[in-house]
C-alpha cells in the first residue's frame, strides 16, 4: 500500500515526521488507535539550504527520537509563549529550531557519548518526591554545575525548566482524566499553593488552567 510513490510506514510514539511541500503524504492513527502530536511549520532560505545540502532529506521522512522526554522540550522551546513576537524573538525561535535539527542529525554520534545517568535524572526530576536539581546532582555524585551543563547539552533544556514542563504536562493530563481542581493539582504535583501552580501553568502553556480546560472541551 502506498500514498503516491511513497510506502506506508508504521508510526510509533516518539517518531518524528518530516512533511515536505510538493511531496504527497498522509498520516494518522491506525484503526482503534489515538495519538497526540506536536508540530512546527517552518520555511526560509536557511532550511532550503539545508535541503539542498542533504541535511534534510526527502527520502527519509521519518526519524525515531526516543525517549520523548529528551526531545520534546527542545521542540517546545521553539514555540515558547514567553518569546516576544519581535524580530529578536523570531530569531531566537529560528536558532532553537536549527539547534534541534542539528542535534537530531548528530544523534548517532551523541548516542556514543550519552552519559549513563541521564535516564535516571530525567525520571527523578519528574517523579522523585521533593527532589530538586541540586539535590539530584548530589545524589548522582556530581557538582551542580557539571550536572546542569551536561543535562542541558543532552536535552536542550536546563533541569529546573525540564522538571517544570513535565509537571505542567502531568497537570494537563490530570485535568482531563480526573478533573482535579487547581488546589488539588497543586497538592498532587508539589506546588506550594494553587496560585503558584496557576502562574507557572500560564508561563509554560501560554494559557491559564481555566482557558486550557475550556479549549480542551471544544
Q: Higher pLDDT residue, 116 or 141?
A: 141
C-alpha cell at 113: 557519548
Beta strands in the chain (DSSP E): 2-3, 6-7, 15-17, 62-64
pLDDT tens column, 83-135: 777 888 788 888 888 888 877 776 655 454 567 888 889 888 888 777 889 99
144 alpha carbon, distance to own chain's centre: 23
Following DSSP, what letter does each residue of 32-47 receive, concatenated? Answer: T-----------SHHH
Question: What is the average per-residue pLDDT within 164-191?
Answer: 86
Shortest CA distance to 15 belongs to which of 67, 51, 58, 57? 67
Question: What is the average per-residue pLDDT within 160-182?
Answer: 85
* pLDDT at position 133: 92
pLDDT tops 90 at residue 136: yes
**Domains parsed from the chain with CATH numbers:** 2-113 (no CATH), 118-216 (1.10.10.60)
* pLDDT at position 111: 52
In the predicted model, what is the mean pLDDT of the chain? 80
Alpha carbons 72 and 74: distance in angstroms, whole number = 5
**Does the reported pTM lie above 0.85?**
no
138 Cβ contact partners less than 8 Å away, ≥ 6 residues apart: 144
Burial of 158 from C-beta contacts in 10 A (0-12 / 13-18 / 19+): middle
**Helix (H/G/I), strand (E/B), else coil: 153:** helix
Question: What is the average per-residue pLDDT within 8-34?
Answer: 78
Q: What dihedral angle (degrees, nearest 10) is formed by the CA atoms of 100, 101, 107, 109?
A: -100
**Helix (H/G/I), strand (E/B), else coil: 151:** helix
C-alpha cell at 194: 494553587
Shortest CA distance to 134 belongs to which of 114, 158, 110? 158
Amino acid at each position: 500500500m502506498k500514498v503516491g510513490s511513497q510506502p506506508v510506514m508504521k508510526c510509533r510514539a516518539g517518531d518524528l515526521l518530516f512533511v515536505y511541500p510538493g511531496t504527497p503524504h498522509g498520516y494518522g492513527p491506525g484503526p482503534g488507535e489515538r495519538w497526540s502530536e506536536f508540530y512546527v511549520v517552518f520555511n526560509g532560505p536557511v532550511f532550503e539550504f539545508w535541503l539542498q545540502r542533504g541535511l534534510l532529506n526527502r527520502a527519509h521522512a521519518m526519524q525515531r527520537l526516543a525517549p520523548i522526554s529528551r526531545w520534546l522540550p527542545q521542540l517546545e522551546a521553539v514555540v515558547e509563549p514567553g518569546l516576544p513576537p519581535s524580530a529578536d524573538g523570531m530569531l531566537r525561535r529560528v536558532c532553537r529550531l536549527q539547534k534541534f535539527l542539528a542535534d537530531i542529525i548528530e544523534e548517532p554520534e551523541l548516542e556514543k557519548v550519552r552519559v549513563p545517568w541521564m535516564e535516571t535524572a530525567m525520571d527523578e526530576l519528574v517523579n522523585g518526591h521533593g527532589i530538586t536539581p541540586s539535590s539530584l546532582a548530589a545524589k548522582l555524585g556530581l557538582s551542580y554545575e557539571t550536572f546542569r551543563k551536561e543535562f542541558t547539552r543532552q536535552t536542550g533544556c536546563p533541569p529546573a525548566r525540564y522538571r517544570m514542563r513535565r509537571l505542567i504536562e502531568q497537570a494537563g493530563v490530570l485535568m482531563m482524566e480526573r478533573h482535579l481542581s487547581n488546589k488539588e493539582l497543586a497538592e498532587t504535583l508539589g506546588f506550594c499553593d494553587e496560585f503558584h501552580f496557576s502562574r507557572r501553568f500560564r508561563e509554560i502553556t501560554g494559557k491559564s488552567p481555566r482557558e486550557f480546560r475550556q479549549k480542551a472541551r471544544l
